[in-house]
Amino acid sequence: MKKILIFTILLFINSSSYADYTVLGNFKCGSLLQFVNDKNTHVKTAITSWMEGYLTGRNYELDRDMLGKTNSDSLYHAVLKFCNDEPLSDLESAALHIDSKLNN
């Protein structure tokens, strides 16, 4: 029984699709755009939540305040624009790009 449990855990840890979904920043723009085209209702919430968390973390790291600079809808559309322009990129690259645009 222990061997089966260990094998199952190792299988999930090494699965690339598992990693793409647990580490949203590694999520590819092409996959994200396909989810949007398929009208997946959870994509907007997942993207905006991840982006807000990312930007909050960067703000704490750099001791800065961005209150009033953006909102969830703006972040979502900024990610979609970045991914449409750079479909071979990923969500982390979009976040870095958007963060740099917000803090010029």
Reported pTM: 0.71
Q: Please give the Cα distance from 100 to 90 (Å, whole number).
A: 16
Q: Please give the Cα distance from 95 to 78 (Å, whole number).
A: 9
Domain coordinates in residue numbering, the chain: 24-102
- The CATH number assigned to the domain with range 24-102 reads 1.10.890
Per residue in 79-94, pLDDT (tens digit) is 999 999 999 999 999 9
Q: What pLDDT was estimated at residue 26?
A: 74
